[in-house]
Every structure is written in structure tokens, then in C-alpha cells.
Chain A
């Protein structure tokens, strides 16, 4: 079962999610409420950043959490840590809303799946509370070259491909690929060195 993968491990944060997800399987409404209170702000912030409309963002957040409530029993153990998976689902839904039925939608790997594919936390992962994680990720992104940061943001928040980013920024395709690859490598190294 999916929930077994959430029974961890080292951190209080993941352990709290794991306990709540076990209770969610028993249709425990209070557990759902607590999961919502723990993560809705982060999920909403991400979705709002993508769709820019408060009403649309709330509809997507509602869909994401209802999906969690209705399909908890269908998750399997291979789906990895909970919060990255939830964020991936929220991002997919938000980008789907932006790109509904477009050619671009078919590019994304998870498009045909009702639930997103697995995320696997790397060995160096350090569990932090949301506030410290926000600070860490923002600092790391700020430390990137501005072009690297911009290219990564266009891909992540706008759902653009390499070619579309190159057209948007009026830069060679190879340069854009390097920016994204090197930027994400620096992000990984930054997270790794922080542990």
C-alpha cells in the first residue's frame, strides 16, 4: 500500500503526515482536516503562482484535496514521500488548467495518469518545516544566475518546453538547456551541501 511508504523514518514532519494518512484510510475526517491545515497554504501558493486567479486556484486546490480524500485507498507503496507527491499533483492540475487539451499538455509525463508518478527522496534529504524549506529554496534560487532561474521558473510555473523557453527568451536552444540543467544541478548541490 502507498501509505506504507509514508511510515517513516527520521522526521517528525513525515511521521505526522504518515499517521494522518493512516487515519485518512479509516475515513477519519479530523485527519483530513489536519492534512489540509498542514499543507493547503503551500499547495494554494503554488497553484495561485501558476494560474494567477484566486477563484481558479481555489477550485484546483479543492480538487486536489478531494482526490486525496476519495482515493487514499488506491495509493500504493511505490509512490514515495507524501508532500512532494501532493505538490506534483497540484502542479499538474494547475498546468492542465492552463493548457487544457493543448498539444503542450501531452508533453508532460504525468498527463495521462490520474495520479502523478512517484517521487523518491534522495539520501541527502533533510526534513525541514515549511518555513525553513521556503527560506532554503528561495536562497538557493536567488544564488543562481538570473537566466538560469528565469528558465527554470518558465518551465516549472508556466509549463514551457525547452523550445518554448528559447523562443520566449530569444536565446539559443542549447543555451536554454544548459541553463536549466546547470541550474537544477546547482539546486541539488545546494540542498546536498546543506545537510
Chain B
């Protein structure tokens, strides 16, 4: 087996980032002198990148799009504002004037650069502050929504009971217009490669549970899960359930529900 053949077996795992340190170091030393394997690694990266298509479909919020375009628009405007102006021609025989103009031009360029840097710094700070504020506003909006759902008498309370004596029940409140809030306290964290997943159990017989959002309790075992847009209406839903699923969630439950609560 040639050296290239020997390392060929490691290329995909290298592109995947799965090699342990000794194998990685040996392969990188080989790659430094092997064009064939370097090309093969680039193709392996392409293959690995295709795994992204297996991630569950999910869409970012419209707020992210708006925020990004706002930043980009501001930066584009700043870029246009600092485009340097052209210089005037100078007669060839006026050496003294040329020297003076050169000095003036150098000073102007330096001054323009200084101003440009100041403008950029101010702009960057403004953009960062704006992004921070929008993030806080977004979080506030979610918290307000959760608070409204929890406080509004129109919300239907759903107690999610458990058969496991080690666990405490979960509480859910479903507001027909604002969504569902599920809260848990002192909930043991699932293993690092597992998450909790909420399911809506349809009333109609024969229909499968409808997957909803994923959550992991924090270090203290607390969580608040907001489902702003439930995948089914309350009138068509018989119960809520929570299962433990592999990270990333499942299209159908793969384990027995740890908590179930009927909607009355």
C-alpha cells in the first residue's frame, strides 16, 4: 500500500473533522507534499458539505433579514461617503508649486484617512449598538408574549403529568391567539446528544403526533418554551406531550412520552 493509499482512507474523516489529533497531524504532514491527496481532501469537503441538506428545514425570522440589510445598507452608505476625490493636474514647470501641492495632497489624504477611520469607528459602534438593541427588543417581545399568555385568563391551563417519580409535572398554557408556553422546573438535563421535544396529539383518530419545538433545561433544570405559532389549532388537539429525542428532534416520537397533559 502506498503512502497515498494509506492516507486516502482518512481523507473523508479529516474533512468531517472527526480525526483524533495524532492521525490529523500525520495526515496534515502528508498533505503538505501530496497534491493528489490535497485535491481529494477538497472534494471530500464538498461531499461533507452536502450533509447540511439533511438538517431539518427551518427559517430565520424576518427580523434577522431586516437587521442584516440595515447593517449592510449603513456600511454601503459609509463606503460611498469615503470614496476619494480625484486630484487636479499641475503644470510641469512649476516645481515649487508641484512640491507644495504634493505636500497638500499628502496632508489631505492623511486627513481624509483619519476622518474616514473616525467615521468608520463611529459607524461600527452605532451598528453594534443598534444590533444589540434590536436583540434586546426581540427578547423583550418574546418575554412579554410569554407573560401575556401566562397572565391572560383566556389561556387554557394544561398540566402535563408524569409517571416517573423522579420527575415533577410540567405546566402549559395555550392562548388561542398568542401561542403556547410550557414551563418546567427542576427537570434533569437529558444527555448532551438528546433534547426534549413538544408534541401536539390530534383529536382526529389515526393522525400522528405533530412535532413542535425543542428545548433543553438550563443548569438549574428550568426552562420556558414559547411556541408562538403552534402547528395545529387548540380545537383540533387532544393533548400535549413531551418526549426525549435525539439532538435536532424527530419527525415522529422515538420514545415514550415523559409528560402528557390532556386539553380539557
Interface of A toward B, CB cutoff 8 Å: 27, 29, 32-33, 36-37, 40-42, 44-46, 48-49, 52, 54-55, 57-59, 61-62, 65-66, 69-70, 80-81, 83-85, 87-88, 90-91, 95, 107-109, 117-122, 125, 130, 133-134, 136-138, 141, 152-163, 165, 168, 177, 180-181, 184-185, 187-188, 191
A58 touching B61, Cβ below 8 Å = yes
Number of B interface residues, CB 8 Å?
57
* Residue on A nearest B18 in the bound complex, by CB: A155
Main SS at interface, chain A: helix
Cα(A162)–Cα(B27), bound, Å: 15
Q: Which residues of B contact A88 (CB under 8 A)?
A: 45, 48-49
* B window 187-207: CB within 8 A of A: 192-193, 195
Cα(A119)–Cα(B17), bound, Å: 14
Cα(A57)–Cα(B67), bound, Å: 14
Check A49/B56 contact, CB under 8 A, given A58-B64, A87-B49, A88-B49. yes
Minimum distance in angstroms from B54 CB to a CB of chain A: 5
Q: Which residues of B contact A107 (CB under 8 A)?
A: 17, 19-21, 24
Q: Which residues of A contact B28 (CB under 8 A)?
A: 109
Check A44/B65 contact, CB under 8 A, given A80-B46, A120-B45, A120-B46. no
Cα(A72)–Cα(B99), bound, Å: 38
Check A55/B47 contact, CB under 8 A, given A155-B18, A162-B13. no
* Residue on A nearest B216 in the bound complex, by CB: A52
Asked whether B7 is an interface residue with its Cβ less than 8 Å from the other chain, the reply is no
Q: Which residues of B contact A85 (CB under 8 A)?
A: 49
Cβ-closest 10 pairs across A and B:
A120-B42, A84-B49, A49-B55, A137-B53, A155-B18, A44-B60, A184-B12, A108-B17, A119-B46, A46-B52
Check A84/B18 contact, CB under 8 A, given A41-B59, A118-B45, A168-B193. no
Interface of B toward A, CB cutoff 8 Å: 9, 12-21, 24, 28, 39, 42-61, 64-65, 67-69, 71-73, 75-76, 79-80, 131, 135, 138-139, 192-193, 195, 214, 216, 247-248
Check A187/B247 contact, CB under 8 A, given A32-B72, A87-B52. no
Q: Which residues of A contact B13 (CB under 8 A)?
A: 155, 162, 177, 180-181, 184
Q: Which residues of B contact A95 (CB under 8 A)?
A: 17
B17 touching A52, Cβ below 8 Å = no
B53 touching A42, Cβ below 8 Å = yes
Check A180/B16 contact, CB under 8 A, given A84-B49, A120-B42, A133-B50. yes
Main SS at interface, chain B: helix
> Most chain-A CB neighbours within 10 Å: which of B19, B75, B79, B139?
B19
Q: Which residues of A contact B16 (CB under 8 A)?
A: 152, 155-156, 180, 184
Q: Which residues of B contact A119 (CB under 8 A)?
A: 42-43, 45-46, 49
Minimum distance in angstroms from B167 CB to a CB of chain A: 21
Across chains A and B, the number of contacting residue pairs, with CB separation under 8 Å, is 184
Interchain CB contact (< 8 A) of B195 among A32, A52, A130? A52
> Most chain-B CB neighbours within 10 Å: which of A70, A141, A161, A163?
A161
Minimum distance in angstroms from A45 CB to a CB of chain B: 4
Q: Which residues of B contact A66 (CB under 8 A)?
A: 68, 71-72
A137 touching B54, Cβ below 8 Å = yes
A120 touching B20, Cβ below 8 Å = no
Cα(A121)–Cα(B46), bound, Å: 6
Check A159/B17 contact, CB under 8 A, given A27-B76, A119-B45, A191-B50. yes
Interchain CB contact (< 8 A) of A27 among B55, B56, B61, B79? B79
Interchain CB contact (< 8 A) of A52 among B46, B69, B247? B247
Q: What are 21 A-B contacts defined by CB distance under 8 Å?
A: A33-B69, A41-B58, A41-B60, A44-B60, A45-B57, A49-B55, A49-B56, A80-B42, A84-B50, A88-B48, A107-B20, A108-B17, A117-B42, A119-B45, A120-B39, A137-B51, A153-B248, A155-B16, A162-B18, A180-B13, A191-B50
